[in-house]
Amino acid sequence: MRHYQCTCGNVLFFDNSVCVQCKLQVGYDVASDQMIALDDAAPFRRCQNGLDYAVCNWVIPAAHDAKFCPSCRLNRTIPDVTSPANLEAWHKIEIAKRRVLYTMARLGLSPVSKEQDAVNGLAFHFLRPDPGALVLTGHDEGVITLSIDEAEGPEREKRRALLGEQYRTLIGHFRHEVAHFYWDRFFQGRADDDPLLEACREVFGDEREDYEAALQRHYTQGPVAAAPGTFITPYASVHPWEDWAETWAHYLHMLDGAETARSFGLNSDSVPIPFTPFPSETVTLPAQLIWPEGEKEEFLTLLDSWAKLAPAINEVVASLGHPTFYPFVFSDSIIRKFYFVHHMVNDFGGHSAGAAAHPPVQAAPEPMATAS
C-alpha cells in the first residue's frame, strides 16, 4: 500500500477523499493506480456510494455508464443504510475491502462480478445478524458473506478472545475469504493427476478430506495436534482449504506490510537487527512443476525484508502501549507454503508480486440489494 501526492504537494493516503491541506476533492482510480484531483476539468466522477453515503473514495471515468466503482460493483447485498450504526460499520468494511482489492489489482488478479461472470465472478453479502437470522462469515462458490458485527471493535475482540486467536481484523477476514475464492479459480475442476493440484496437495494436504467433519472436530476438540511450526495459525490446521486460506492471508499481510514500509522510506536494510537470511535450500517445493528462474530469490527477498521489519514495528507499537503488532513466527514448513502461494500469484496473475499493474476498469453497472 503506497501513498500519493496532491497537486499542492501534500501527502495523500489511500483512503483520502479530500486533501486536508488545500481541501481539494480527490478520489482513487484503480485502473491507473492514481489519486485523481476531482476539479472541474477532471474526466472522472465519484462512485455513487461515495456521493450518496460517503463510504467510497474510488472514482469512475466520467464517460462510463456505470454508477459504481469496480469495488462497489462486487457488492450484492449491503446493510440497511437508514441505520447510522449500519452505515458506520459498512464504511469500515468498504475501507478494508478496497485495500484487499488494491492488492489483487497490483497482482493482476482483479475479480469480476457475479453479474459479469456467474460461474467465476465474485460477490459480497454484508449482513447484520439478528435473533432470527444468524450470519456466518464465509465463502461459498464465489459469494463472500461477512457479518457486519465484525466491523465493531468490541464484538470482534470478544470473538478473538473466545476463539483464542492472536489476530482478528476486517482486512484479515477479507484476505482469508478471498483466498478461498482464488483456490477455486486455481484448482477447482482439475483432474486428480493434474500436476498443479498434486503439488498443492503435497504442500497443504488433500482437500478431499471431509470439510464439515474437520470443522466439527476443530470446534469440539480443538486444533489438530501438530509439530510446532506446521501451521501459521491454529485455525489453519482445520483442513487443507483453511491452511491455504490462512497462508494466503498472511502472505498478503507480509506483501502489503513490506510495500507500505518501503513507500514511507522504511528500508529493512537500515533496521539494526542481526539477521541471517533464509537460505535458498529452505524452500523446497514439489517436483511436479517448473519453478521460474529468479522467482525463489524474489520471494526470499520479500521474506527477509518482512522478517526484519515486523519485529521493528512490533517495538514501535509496544512503545505506544499496544499489543504485539505481528505475533507470528515462520518455520521452514510455513515458508514452503508461503512460496507456493507466491508462485500461484505470479503464475496466474501474470505479474511479479508487488508489480504495479492493473487491468482495465470494468464498465457494466450492477444492482445492489439492501438488507436489514
**134-156: pLDDT as tens digits:** 899 999 999 999 999 999 999 99
363 pLDDT exceeds 70?
no
The answer to whether residues 260 and 2 touch, using CB atoms and an 8 Å cutoff, is yes
User: Across residues 54-75, what is the average pLDDT?
Assistant: 96
pLDDT over threshold 80, residue 365: no
Cα–Cα distance between 301 and 278 in angstroms, integer? Answer: 9
> pLDDT digit string (tens) for 21-51?
999 999 999 999 999 999 888 899 999 999 9
* Grid cell in block for residue 330: 515462520
pLDDT value, residue 317: 94
10 — pLDDT class (breaks 50, 70, 90): very high
Residue 343: how many CA atoms within 13 Å on its side-chain side? 23
Angle between helices 240-263 and 170-187 (to 10 degrees): 120
- Output the pLDDT for position 369: 55
Q: Determine the pLDDT at residue 132.
A: 80
* Average pLDDT of every residue of the chain: 90
Contacts of 255 by beta carbon, 8 Å cutoff, 6+ apart: 103, 302, 353, 354
Between 303 and 356, name the one with better pLDDT: 303
Tell me what pLDDT residue 290 has.
78
User: CB 353: neighbour CB atoms within 10 A?
Assistant: 22
**pLDDT in the model for residue 93:** 98
Closest CA to 78 of 292, 330, 366: 366
In whole angstroms, what is the distance from residue 280 CA to residue 350 CA? 23
The torsion angles phi and psi of 242, rounded to 5 degrees, stand at: -75, -30
Q: What is the pTM of this model?
A: 0.91
pLDDT at 164: 87
pLDDT of residue 362: 34
Assess contact for 106 and 357: CB atoms under 8 A: yes
Measured distance CA(202)–CA(182) in Å, rounded: 18
Gap between the Cα atoms of 90 and 263, Å rounded: 28
pLDDT digit string, tens, across residues 228-248: 889 999 999 999 999 999 999
